[in-house]
Structure 1
Amino acid sequence: MQRTRFDTARIRAARQMIDPVFLDSPLYPCEALEPGLGCAVSVKLETANPVRSFKARGTEVVASLLVAGGPRAAVCASAGNLGQALAWSGRSRGLDITVVAPHVAPAAKLDRIRALGARLELVDGDIEAARERAVTVARDEGIRLVEDSLDIETCEGAATIGLELVDSSAGYDAVLVALGGGALATGVGHVMKALSPRVEVICVQPLGAPAMTHSWRQRRVTTTESTDTIADGVAGRHPIAAVLDDLLLVADDAVLVRETSIIMAMRMLVEHAGLVVEPSAALGIAAILEDRERFAGRHVVTIVCGSNVDPDAYHRWVTDLPS
């Protein structure tokens, strides 16, 4: 493998910094999904933890290192999941946490950030506007800026999911990973290529937020002026060059899926697997729905990465879609 920012030994060491409540998440075959998808599907369930997403694997590493030496305060920009995770990890270690979020972020996520004791600042605009404000807060207050995907600790925490997939005996031949900022995709992708290179790593992004996928395809950073997707957790517009460099080395493919497919995937997950998920977590199933021939007869793993979803919006999406 060509050199990336990752080191497998560091990823193994990261497991020791993460609260066990976030480790060894359930991985199981979901036979009820097979008839509708035409392939065997195993689910890696990253929602069965206190913040209901994979993000705390990374924030646990960040917070542990801050306690070991550095400012006792941190700020991040978040559409919701990273903010919750950093708030949880910081609270358990006595750190002061500030989260900057777009005011249009799901109310359920914002309420949970507040409940976890973080200071929440809302800004107009999208996640990119929140990132700009977080940079200013970090500079003005002299605190740690946690930049998801750019900070290697967030990627190494996510990469521990890959270690668990490799250690399993699931017998899958492809892993479907939601693609946003890239921490999950590059982390899991690195472990797959380092330890189980036969497994195909397929990244999935909404058609309405395609910046990282376009960047991967063109092998250079490509930005977009706006996003238009219900999958707020992966709706970035400005890919990070260092993250793209890592992704180019570990992703076998990057695909875009339509909103209707995301919603249908959410419906399938609740109807056939009993899983209420946020749109980003349904991207893997959406990819299968849009290309059944590609996955026919195969055994794939999809990482269900989050379940923090506004109940009213979820009900509207899942019940209003025509059968």
Structure 2
Amino acid sequence: MPSTRLDLERIRAARGIIDPVFLDTPLYQCDELGRELGCTMSIKLETANPVRSFKARGTELVARLLADRGETEAVCASAGNLGQALGWSGRLRGVRVTVVASHMAPAIKLDRIRASGAELEVVDGDFESARERAAHLARLRGIRLVEDSLDIETCEGAATIGLELAGSAAPFDAVLIALGGGAMATGVGFVLKSLSPDVEVICVQPAGAPAMTRSWHQCRVVTTGPTDTIADGVAGRYPIPAVLDDLLSVADDAVLVSEASIVTGMRTLLECAGLVVEPSAALGVSAVLEDRDRFAGRHIATVICGSNVDMNAYRSWVHV
């Protein structure tokens, strides 16, 4: 079992805490997608839930922990999906949630944060500016700062996806996971390396937001300048050292893909699987498109991690 901050028994216990609406999401082989990509392709669909992303698996654990401790308020920075999920989970458990987001976040994600019941504060700058403001509010108010990927609950909640993948009747040769802050990649990767060690765990990140991938390859934290990608959900610049340590223990590879491949991946998922997804969710397909020989003839699974996408932007990208 890899040496990380995560614990397999806690992850198994998490299934009893997470609302069942977020568990056992569809996992199926998509033959048309496989024919297009030249491999056997299975999809783990993490958009078929009330917040349209995988993030609530982690926020369910966070909100339960806060409620058990009698804490009634929390704040987080979010590119969009975490804030919506924490708002949803907090509302059901009596936890008031404040979300700080960058003005560059898609309007649809900001609208859904508000609809979740969370208080939203929008700041100038990018996601890192939102992180700084959220940390300031936590100190000012004396409340819990929820930090995606650093808080182990966000990783172990996402890791329950790995339990469902590892329990699949059909074994996979590789699993492709979108890489941003690292919660999903470390969580799913940890479970797969613990239960299905022969499965190759491959993390995928946009070339326009490469901080965590560069860090993984250099085995040290590498920060970057401003990001340049439509995949806003994975566009961080400052990797968290503890998360990188976990990722180094569980990932077999980390690759970068171009913006053109991300757009083609989104279009391919629409045409072959009937799925409208946000750019981050197309990263796995994008990786296959860029290196078909590597994946030819193999059974690949990819996690479709979110579908909170602005439809006007989506149409302009995929030309529908």
Calculate the TM-score normalised by the size of structure 1: 0.98
Q: Distance in 2 between matches of 1:302 and 1:314?
A: 20
Structure 1 runs, 4 residues or longer, greater than 2 Å off: none
Matched, 1:9 2:1: no
How far is the alpha carbon of 1:269 from its aligned partner? 0.4
Residues 126-171 of structure 1, C-alpha deviations (whole Å, 9 max, x = no match)? 1100000000001101111000000000000000000001111122
* Counterpart in the other structure of 2:52: 52
How far is the alpha carbon of 1:314 from its aligned partner? 0.3
* Counterpart in the other structure of 1:205: 205
Paired residues of 2:2 and 2:190 also in contact (CA < 8 A): no
Q: Distance in 1 between matches of 2:2 and 2:94?
A: 39
Q: Distance in 1 between matches of 2:182 and 2:171?
A: 25
Matched, 1:151 2:147: no
Can you give the 5+ residue segments of structure 1 that lack an aligned partner in the other structure? none
* Counterpart in the other structure of 1:249: 249
Matched, 1:192 2:192: yes
* Counterpart in the other structure of 1:275: 275
* Counterpart in the other structure of 1:181: 181
* Counterpart in the other structure of 1:237: 237
Matched, 1:75 2:75: yes
Q: Distance in 2 between matches of 1:70 and 1:248?
A: 35
Q: Bigger shift: 139-148 or 2-11?
A: 2-11
The one-letter code sitting in structure 2 at the alignment partner of 1:202 is I
Q: Distance in 2 between matches of 1:88 and 1:177?
A: 24
Matched, 1:20 2:17: no
After TM superposition, the structure 1 = structure 2 runs for residues 153-172 of structure 1, keeping only pairs within 5 Å, are 153-172=153-172
Q: What secondary structure, in the 3-state scheme, does the structure 2 residue paired with 1:43 have?
A: strand
The one-letter code sitting in structure 2 at the alignment partner of 1:265 is G
How far is the alpha carbon of 1:2 from its aligned partner? 4.1
* Counterpart in the other structure of 2:314: 314
The count of corresponding residues between Structure 1 and Structure 2 is: 320
* Counterpart in the other structure of 1:90: 90
Calculate the TM-score normalised by the size of structure 2: 0.99
Q: What secondary structure, in the 3-state scheme, does the structure 1 residue paired with 2:15 have?
A: helix
Paired residues of 2:149 and 2:183 also in contact (CA < 8 A): yes
Q: What secondary structure, in the 3-state scheme, does the structure 2 residue paired with 1:201 have?
A: strand
Q: Distance in 2 between matches of 1:229 and 1:99?
A: 22
Q: Distance in 2 between matches of 1:30 and 1:156?
A: 27
Q: What secondary structure, in the 3-state scheme, does the structure 1 residue paired with 2:16 have?
A: helix
Two-structure CA RMSD over aligned residues (Å): 0.8
How far is the alpha carbon of 1:189 from its aligned partner? 0.4
After TM superposition, the structure 1 = structure 2 runs for residues 98-177 of structure 1, keeping only pairs within 5 Å, are 98-177=98-177
How far is the alpha carbon of 1:7 from its aligned partner? 0.6
* Counterpart in the other structure of 2:266: 266
* Counterpart in the other structure of 1:294: 294
Q: What secondary structure, in the 3-state scheme, does the structure 1 residue paired with 2:122 have?
A: strand
How far is the alpha carbon of 1:71 from its aligned partner? 1.8
Can you give the 5+ residue segments of structure 2 that lack an aligned partner in the other structure? none
Q: Distance in 2 between matches of 1:100 and 1:82?
A: 11
Q: What fraction of aligned residue pairs are identical, expressed as a percent?
A: 73
Q: What secondary structure, in the 3-state scheme, does the structure 1 residue paired with 2:133 have?
A: helix
Q: What secondary structure, in the 3-state scheme, does the structure 2 residue paired with 1:17 have?
A: coil
